[in-house]
Structure 1
C-alpha cells in the first residue's frame, strides 16, 4: 500500500512540475520515455535472471501452475473487452491494452503513452495502480469468498513483489511459489500484449 501511495505521489508531483514549466522542455530528450522503457526492461530481465533459486524452483514445479497466470490473462482480457463495449471514447483493443498491464503500471503506461498518447497512458497508470491497491486491501475478503488463488490472480504482475506479503499471510506459505511464478509469467507477457493491442 505504501509503495502505491509513493508512486501516486511521484505521479502527482510530475504532473505539477510539467504544468508549472519548472523544467525547460528543451532539456528533456524527445525519446526519453523510450530510454526509460528500455532501462525498465533491462532491470526486469536482470532481476529474474539473477534469482537462481527462483528459476530452479520454477523448473521443478508442476506444469499445472501455468493455469493460474493463463486464467488471469484470459479473464483480464475478456473483462476489459466487455468494458470496452461501454466506453465510446476508447476502442475495445485500447481497453485491452490498458488491461494488459496486469498491475505493472510503470512499464505498461510508458508503452501505451508512446503508442496511443498520454491520455490513455495516464488511464493505464491509474488503472494498474488501482488493481494493486485493490489486491492489497481486498485479499482477506477475496480468500474468504473466492479461495486462496483469487488474490494471486487479482494482484496480476504484483503477486511476486508488493502483494506477496499479504498473499502469503492470507493464502498461506504453500501459495508463495505459485504467486511468484504467476507474477513472473504475467510480467513477461506485458510488453508483448500491450504492444500487440496498441498496434490496432
Structure 2
C-alpha cells in the first residue's frame, strides 16, 4: 500500500498539471517559475546535504560512486543507440545552422550547480531552524514542481496521439529504458554495497536530477540522493557537449543522451544541431521518458532484491 501511495503522490500532480490548460500569455511565466523552482529545490537539497555527518570524509566515496554509475549508464546508452542508428539510419534535413543554444544551456547548468553549492555552504554557516526539516520542504516543492511540469507538457501543444504515434520516438524511449536498466544492472554487479533493485532505481533518473535526488534520498538516505543528483547533472553536461558532435552521424543517439532533458533543457541544443526535423523525435522521446522515470524510480526503490 505504501508503494502505491508513493506512486500516486508522484503521478497525481503530474497528471493534474497535464489536465490544466495554459494560455499562450502564461507559458513564459510558467517556464520562468519552473526554472526558479528548480533553483530553490537545489538550494534546499544543498541544505540537506550540509546536515550529513562527516560529509567531507564521504566525498571521495560519493565521487567514485557517481563516476562508476555515470560511466555504466552512458556506455550502455551509447552502445545501444549507436547500434540502432547504424542498423536503422535516420537522415536529418538540417534547416538551421548550429547556434549558441548549447553555450547558453551550459551556463544554465552551472547556475544549477551553483544553487546547490550555495545551499551547502549556507547550511554549514547559517541557521535555518525556521525552515524546519529541509527535506520536508523539498518534498513540498516537489509536488509543485510536478504540477508545473505537467502544465508545461500540456503547453507544448503536442497531443498524446502525436507522441505515441511517433514510431521512432516510442522505439527510442523503449531502447533508452532498456539501456538505462542494463547500465544500472552492471553498476549493481560492480559495486559490492549496491543491490540490483537499488542499481535499477538509480539508473531510472534519466537526467531528471531534481526528482531523482528527492526520491533516492527518501528511499536510501541523503548520500544516495546526492549520488543520483550529481549523476544526472553529469548526464546533462555530457549531453550539452556531445549532442552537436553525435548529431552528425548518430542523430537518434544525440537525442537520447539527454534523457528526460531532451524535452526541455537540451532541446535547444538538439534543434540547433539537428534542425527542426529533430524536434518531433525529441519531444516524443522526452515526453515518454518523463512519464516513465518517476514510475520506475518509485517502483524499484520500494523493492528489495
TM-score by length of 1: 0.90
Q: How many equivalent residue pairs? A: 197
Please report how far the alpha carbon of residue 122 of structure 1 lies from its aligned counterpart in structure 2 after TM superposition.
Answer: 0.3
Q: 1:80 to 1:59 in 2, by over 3 A?
A: closer
Indicate if the aligned counterparts of 1:103 and 1:156 stay in contact, CA closer than 8 A.
yes
Work out whether 1:4 is the aligned partner of 2:109. yes
SS of the residue corresponding to residue 54 of structure 1 reads: coil
Deviations 1:90-146 (A, max 9, x none): 22222221221100100111111112110010000000010011000011332345x
Work out whether 1:137 is the aligned partner of 2:254. no
Work out whether 1:88 is the aligned partner of 2:192. yes
Tell me how far apart the structure 1 counterparts of residues 180 and 111 of structure 2 sit (CA, whole Å).
25
Tell me how far apart the structure 1 counterparts of residues 145 and 287 of structure 2 sit (CA, whole Å).
15
Which entry has the higher C-alpha Rg, 1 or 2? 2
Q: Indicate the residue corresponding to 2:275 in structure 1.
A: 172
Please report how far the alpha carbon of residue 159 of structure 1 lies from its aligned counterpart in structure 2 after TM superposition.
Answer: 0.6
Work out whether 1:79 is the aligned partner of 2:183. yes
Please report how far the alpha carbon of residue 60 of structure 1 lies from its aligned counterpart in structure 2 after TM superposition.
Answer: 8.4
In structure 1, runs of 5+ residues without a counterpart are: none
Q: Indicate the residue corresponding to 1:128 in structure 2.
A: 232
Q: Please, which of 154, 160, 176 is the counterpart of residue 49 of structure 1? A: 154
What pairs with 1:1-200 in structure 2 (closer than 5 Å)? 1-24=106-129, 27-29=131-133, 31-51=136-156, 53-55=157-159, 58=162, 61-144=165-248, 147-200=250-303
What value does the CA root-mean-square deviation take over the aligned residues? 1.9
Indicate if the aligned counterparts of 1:149 and 1:171 stay in contact, CA closer than 8 A.
no
In structure 2, runs of 5+ residues without a counterpart are: 1-105
Q: 1:108 to 1:93 in 2, by over 3 A?
A: same
Tell me how far apart the structure 2 counterparts of residues 99 and 3 of structure 1 sit (CA, whole Å).
23
Tell me how far apart the structure 2 counterparts of residues 78 and 134 of structure 1 sit (CA, whole Å).
19
TM-score by length of 2: 0.60
Please report how far the alpha carbon of residue 180 of structure 1 lies from its aligned counterpart in structure 2 after TM superposition.
Answer: 1.0
Q: Identify which of structures 1 and 2 has the higher relative contact order when contacts are C-alpha pairs closer than 8 Å and 6+ apart.
A: 2
Deviations 1:70-102 (A, max 9, x none): 111111111121122111232222222122110
> Which piece of structure 1 moves more, 111-120 or 90-99?
90-99
Deviations 1:27-58 (A, max 9, x none): 3246223212211111111111233x222772
